Amino acid sequence: MKKLILLSVLLLAISFLSVNTLAADKKTQTTVSKAAKVEVYYFHFTRRCVTCQAVETETKSAIAALYPAQAKKGLITFTAVNLDEKKSEALAKKCKAEGQALLVISGGKRIDLTEQGFMYAKSTPNKLKAELKKTIDPLL
């Protein structure tokens, strides 16, 4: 009988420790995912129309307005890249940008917002801002 009680207490202690370890692991994973870096790239050519310029301007201002603290910490960046410049070739290849593109990249995820950028930047910039927020929030 004593052996049965001792065995029960031992199993209870082991299960309690394993539950606490799992809870600690979940907290660690949450912290790691919160520190993910998000990079927003706007790839363009030297000659640009008004809409092309608006995509850059509106995206840049939306990032600055929506994520000032994260931008300051370097957790989110915005970079405009001229595809006509030789030094941009490696980055364009890495990001798989073959032409004008608005891309959000974090870890292994690559989200293409080119269509939304060109659709909303000039006429309804608030919609572009909302699309950026909807895309970036889950990545942070």
HEC letters along the chain = CHHHHHHHHHHHHHHHHHHHHHHHHHHHHHHHHHCCCEEEEEEECCCCCHHHHHHHHHHHHHHHHHCHHHHHHCCEEEEEEECCCHHHHHHHHHHCCCCCEEEEEECCEEEECHHHHHHHCCCCHHHHHHHHHHHHHHHC
Lowest mean pLDDT among 9-18, 43-52, 123-132: 9-18
Domain that holds residue 111: 35-139
Long-range contacts of 82-87 (CB under 8 A, 24+ apart): 82/44, 82/45, 82/46, 83/43, 83/44, 83/45, 84/45, 84/46
Strand partners, 41: 79, 103
pLDDT digits (tens, 9 = 90+) for 97-137: 989 999 999 988 999 999 999 999 999 999 999 999 999 99
pLDDT at 24: 43
| Position 51 pLDDT exceeds 90 | yes
Q: How many domains does the chain have?
A: 2
132 and 90 housed in the same domain? yes
**Same-domain pairing of 29 and 78:** no
Alpha carbon distance 97, 114 (integer Å): 11
CATH number assigned to the domain comprising residue 56: 3.40.30.10
Same domain, 109 and 62: yes
What pLDDT sits at residue 65? 94
What is the model's pTM? 0.72
Arithmetic mean of pLDDT, 1-15: 49
The pLDDT value given to residue 77: 94
Query: Is the confidence at residue 53, as pLDDT, over 50?
Result: yes
Q: Could you report the per-residue pLDDT of 66-105, keeping only the tens digit for each?
A: 999 888 888 999 999 999 999 999 999 999 998 999 999 9
Whether residue 33 has pLDDT greater than 50: no
